[in-house]
Chain A
């Protein structure tokens, strides 16, 4: 069964506007971590933000924030003030278990295109 679901294959956003990328997850483990990675057309995987299952507050990193709704098992990424350089594929990923040496399970990704 798919552990990470990203329902938006692609999105267009106007420069300087905010965009929300959806991510829902499925796990029975009470301890888990949620990640967002950015993959530009050049192919590298760039870490954006992390949310732990026991974290009380939503994670923020600059223009990136994570809307973590634990009861709904969702971890949506919000990119504020979009820039042309934000055009990329965005992956939501999950690590199950309390240790940080566990593998990541990725969603199918969402392609974001920022328009000038």
Chain B
């Protein structure tokens, strides 16, 4: 079965650089979530999208922005990178309104290292 695809899997950037993380949800999943997991920490919700509209927002820095495109893939844009942005970034997806699917399906994550 198709899973959530994230690219790149690993990314190394310098401070003050920009980064773009991509997420391709499972086919027919219209809702996408982004989470940030710092070293030794639990995942923290950043932002979510449904049908290309932002549906919820968590602790996402103003330096970050995200969007969902017409094919439902999503991109997380990160600017002015800081050392503290080094983390594992997860994308998850699920089909909204389908009450038989309660779980969020997580991608493998993008490991971002800021030097």
Chain A residues in contact with chain B, CB under 8 A?
A: 33, 35, 37, 43-47, 50, 52, 91, 95, 99-109
A45 touches B90 (CB 8 A): yes
Q: How far is the CA of A66 from the CA of B64 in the complex (A)?
A: 37
Tell me the smallest distance from the CB of A106 to a CB of chain B, in Å.
4
Q: How far is the CA of A70 from the CA of B29 in the complex (A)?
A: 31
Tell me the smallest distance from the CB of A44 to a CB of chain B, in Å.
5
- What residues of A have a CB within 8 angstroms of the CB of B102 in the complex? 33, 35, 50, 52, 95, 100
With contacts A52-B102, A100-B101, A101-B31 taken as known, whether A109 is within 8 angstroms of B45 at the C-beta atoms is no
User: Which residue of A43, A52, A107 is within 8 Å of B108 (Cβ)?
Assistant: A43
With contacts A43-B109, A44-B109, A50-B103 taken as known, whether A107 is within 8 angstroms of B42 at the C-beta atoms is yes
Q: How far is the CA of A91 from the CA of B101 in the complex (A)?
A: 19
With contacts A35-B103, A43-B109, A44-B106 taken as known, whether A101 is within 8 angstroms of B45 at the C-beta atoms is no
- What residues of A have a CB within 8 angstroms of the CB of B88 in the complex? 43
Q: How far is the CA of A98 from the CA of B113 in the complex (A)?
A: 37
- What residues of B have a CB within 8 angstroms of the CB of A95 in the complex? 102
With contacts A91-B42, A101-B96, A109-B42 taken as known, whether A47 is within 8 angstroms of B105 at the C-beta atoms is yes
